[in-house]
Amino acid sequence: MMLSRVRWRVGVTATLALSAVAVPRSLFAQGLRGWTGTTIQAVDLRPFQLTSSGCPSSATCYVQGDDVTSVVGTQDLSVTAWGFGPQGLSATLYARGRTGFGSEAPWPRSGDHFDALLAYVQLVRGGWTVRAGRQEIRSGLGFSSFDGGSASWRRGPFNFEGYGGRSLARGLRDPANEALRGIEDFVPDQSIYLWGGSSRVRLRTTSATLRYQREILSDRSGLASERASLDVTAALPRVRFTGAIDWDFGLERLGKSHLTALTPFADGRWTVSATVRRYVPYFSLSTIWGFFEPVSYTETQARVGWSPVSRVGLWMSGGRRSYGDAEVTVVLRPLEDTGWRGEAGGSWAVSSAWRLDGRYEVEWVPGGFLSSADASVRWSPLERVSMAVTGMSLQQIEQFRVGDGRARGVGFSIAADVTDRLSATGGASVLRHSMSDGGLASPWNQSRAWTSVRVRVGEDPGLANRRGEAGR
């Protein structure tokens, strides 16, 4: 199986390379847009080890193991090229390579050395858009990646879309039966095929998209998922509504949903929003998790943002959460089924060179309590250079974990647009953890460092607002 993955990846890479060689005129004559980024991250920490010796009050406990350093390098390449001759034809590639640099503790996914995140050709002609290759659908159902084809047709306010192909594991870019083998139980032997469609209408400032999506095992022996979603936005003169709801046909239940009303007033200096949200996790039917029937929670949330002057922004939010009946017998006292969340923050652009940001968050939900704060000071001595110092502190009490603890950390970062097309960022942080419950576990201190260099090619207006800024 591993061999087939390697063959497939080599095949994709070779195809792309041959395409580049076969049509050099297109790559240079018409247009090329993209960027490449190189990132190196490192963390130093002491992983936990479960032990039965020396535990103060139980048979086993966690202690800190030896100090380990984990380093990972990531190389991204995102390119869109067009001008292959036929008008509207373009090719897109977003590839990522990773490697761990001899780390004692491998970075998550660092063993997955190559991912073609996106790799497709696209033809836009009139109201039609047709794609073939590795692509991604972003919708109210979340992110769905697949190798296949899609076609959409737009006429006036209407847009219709259909797509299908081999499904890729969520959050990964490999077929689920291959990507999860060895790290997940009950992985299907066969591929999963995905197909779906959507219809969209936009009337003035109101948009609605209805989507249906189904994933089936390649031998048709079972479903992986069958869901539908409706996403709506409506920008009325004073209020913007966003709402979404999805339905899981596989588990015959309502999925996630939310309705948010947001209104700015006083010339936009105030923003108020209210949200009612229902959350229930989504699991593929190829796992047992969905059949364990997780319960949903409903949260009502209110938010206020205030910008008293142009350089100052303040905001706060609060929400109450209520879980559904878990329908389980609980020994002794039951767990909480309600929770609260609150958050407040602000930013102050003292001058064009100085900026202060701060945030405080408190959560009191079933399973834990969290109180955390962070603040940063950013200094931009030059238009293209910024530096930031960040501090954070948290207290965390978790009912089901190794214990309660506090942490304090400080970090430094720097970002520079070396040229119009070259930017670099880097930073380091340390976090010191102290346990507060009598030694059930050892502190989990960490030191981190990272650096990243990004080079842009061509014009990409969407990146205009993402130029380097330290302390993001």
Partner 1 sequence: MRRRSGVRAVGGAAGVVLAVAAGALALAGSPGGASQEDPFPHADHQGLFPVCSGCHAGVADGEPDRYYPPPGQCVGCHDGVDEERVTWTGASARASNVIFEHVDHASELEGAGDAALSCETCHSDLDTGRMSVDGAEELDTCWSCHAHERVDHYEASAADPCVSCHVPLAESGLDGARLRVLPAPEVHAGDEFLLVGHGPSAEAELGRCATCHVQDQCVDCHVDGTQSSIAALPVAPATMDFPPLESSYPVPSTHDVQGFEAAHPVTDGATCSTCHTSDDCASCHLTPLPDVAAGLPSRSESTAPGAALESAAPATHGSFFFVETHATLAAAEPSTCATCHTESYCVDCHDGPSDGGYHPPGFVSLHPSSAFGQAQECASCHNTAAFCRECHQEVGLGSTGRLGPGYHDAEPLFLLRHGQAARQSLESCASCHQQTDCVQCHGVLGAFQVSPHTEDFDARAAWARSPSTCLACHVSNPVGGGP
Q: Which candidate, 406, 404, 413, places its Cα nearest to that of 431? A: 406
Amino acid in the structure at residue 284: S
Is residue 44 near partner 1 by the rule CB under 8 A? no
* Selected binder of partner 1 within 5, 170, 384, 467 (CB under 8 A): 170
Contact in structure between 99 and 71 (CB atoms under 8 Å): no
Annotate 66-124 with DSSP letters as a single string: --EEEEEEEEEEEEEEE-SSSTTEEEEEEEEEEEE-S-SSPPTTTT--EEEEEEEEEEE
For the bound state, the minimum distance from the C-beta of residue 254 to partner 1, rounded and expressed in Å, comes to: 13
For the bound state, the minimum distance from the C-beta of residue 197 to partner 1, rounded and expressed in Å, comes to: 14
Q: Which candidate, 131, 28, 34, places its Cα nearest to that of 88? A: 131
Residue for token pair 């506090």: 406
Given the complex with partner 1, which of 142 and 197 has the nearer CB atom?
142
For the bound state, the minimum distance from the C-beta of residue 106 to partner 1, rounded and expressed in Å, comes to: 6
Q: What angle do CA 17, 20, 24 make, to 5 degrees?
A: 150
Residues 103-132, interacting with partner 1 (CB under 8 A): 105-106, 108-109, 112, 117-118, 124, 126
Is residue 78 near partner 1 by the rule CB under 8 A? yes
Tokens of 109: 């996914």
For the bound state, the minimum distance from the C-beta of residue 226 to partner 1, rounded and expressed in Å, comes to: 8
Tokens of 241: 């509504």
Is residue 452 near partner 1 by the rule CB under 8 A? yes
For the bound state, the minimum distance from the C-beta of residue 362 to partner 1, rounded and expressed in Å, comes to: 10
Distance CA 135, CA 466 (A): 23
* Selected binder of partner 1 within 12, 180, 194, 228 (CB under 8 A): 180
Contact in structure between 94 and 115 (CB atoms under 8 Å): no
Burial of 331 (0-12, 13-18, 19+ CB in 10 A): exposed
Given the complex with partner 1, which of 333 and 352 has the nearer CB atom?
333
Distance CA 115, CA 102 (A): 20
Is residue 160 near partner 1 by the rule CB under 8 A? no
Give the binding range for partner 1 (CB under 8 A) out of 1-9, 18-26, 378-386, 447-455: 447-455
Q: What angle do CA 64, 391, 455 make, to 5 degrees?
A: 95
x/- map, 329-368, partner 1, by CB under 8 A: xxxx-xx-x-x-x-----------------x---x-xxxx
Is residue 244 near partner 1 by the rule CB under 8 A? yes
Residues 261-280, interacting with partner 1 (CB under 8 A): 262, 264, 268, 271, 273, 279
Strands (E), 101-222: 114-125, 128-139, 142-155, 158-167, 192-203, 206-217
Is residue 414 near partner 1 by the rule CB under 8 A? no
* Selected binder of partner 1 within 288, 302, 350, 418 (CB under 8 A): 288
Is residue 164 near partner 1 by the rule CB under 8 A? no
Distance CA 126, CA 266 (A): 42
Give the binding range for partner 1 (CB under 8 A) out of 5-13, 15-23, 348-356, 370-378: 370-378
Given the complex with partner 1, which of 289 and 354 has the nearer CB atom?
289
Given the complex with partner 1, which of 24 and 461 has the nearer CB atom?
461
Is residue 100 near partner 1 by the rule CB under 8 A? no
Distance CA 450, CA 347 (A): 25
Residue for token pair 């936005």: 233
* Selected binder of partner 1 within 305, 378, 380, 414 (CB under 8 A): 305
Is residue 165 near partner 1 by the rule CB under 8 A? no
x/- map, 8-37, partner 1, by CB under 8 A: ----------------------xx-xxx-x
